[in-house]
Structure 1
């Protein structure tokens, strides 16, 4: 179950934020085979004066609309899967008007022992099991 944190510039429209969340989610489903019901994306806004970045880092010309996507998930995806994921995210967001140049993605990997996803239960004890609340 990936957990996503998305940071967008303040006053980004609700529609655009929803499109970003959906694009990231669909890319995760497509590129790494994440189950469709594993949607957890915490979106925060930043004030322009709170985010300092080099507009030309690594030869990429960034705009005022830079967004940051942090993905935390269980370790074990190949580099090829991650490459496909990053490309899919950028491509999907481009369809809603987000420049691929403005998509910054960070991956954090850990193990089941680093998670509790509900009821205060150590995730390793319930790895890949479904609850019956649904």
Structure 2
């Protein structure tokens, strides 16, 4: 179950926020075969004066509306899967949310089942993708 944090420029419209969340989620489902019900995406906004970045780092010309996508998930995806995921996120955000791919900054943290509790205070390692009984 990936956990996503998005940082968006303050003033991003609610419609664009939803499009960004959905674009990232769809990319995860399509690129790494994440189950569709594993949607956990925390969106925060930054004031332009609180986010410092090089607009030309690594030869990419960024605007003042960088979208930061931070992905935390269980380790085990190949580099090819990650490459596909990053490309699909940028593609989806451009198509659905009108975000330039140059403004999409993605990074990932990987960990193991033992690093998660996803409900009821239970150690996720004991559950390993089992479904709960709450409905």
Q: TM-score surpassing 0.5?
A: yes
- Residue equivalent to 1:53: 53
Secondary structure of 1:81's counterpart equals: helix
- Residue equivalent to 2:79: 79
Separation of aligned partners in 1, 2:77 and 2:102: 24
Pairing of 1:1-134 with structure 2 (within 5 A): 1-95=1-95, 96-134=97-135
Separation of aligned partners in 2, 1:127 and 1:9: 36
Output the aligned Cα RMSD.
0.4
**Once superposed, which parts of structure 1, at least 4 consecutive aligned residues long, lie more than 4 Å away?**
none
Separation of aligned partners in 1, 2:132 and 2:122: 12
Structure 2 residues not aligned, in runs of 5+: none
Under a length normalisation based on structure 1, what TM-score does the superposition of the two structures give?
0.99
Q: How far apart are 1:56 and its partner, in Å? A: 0.1
Q: How far apart are 1:132 and its partner, in Å? A: 1.4
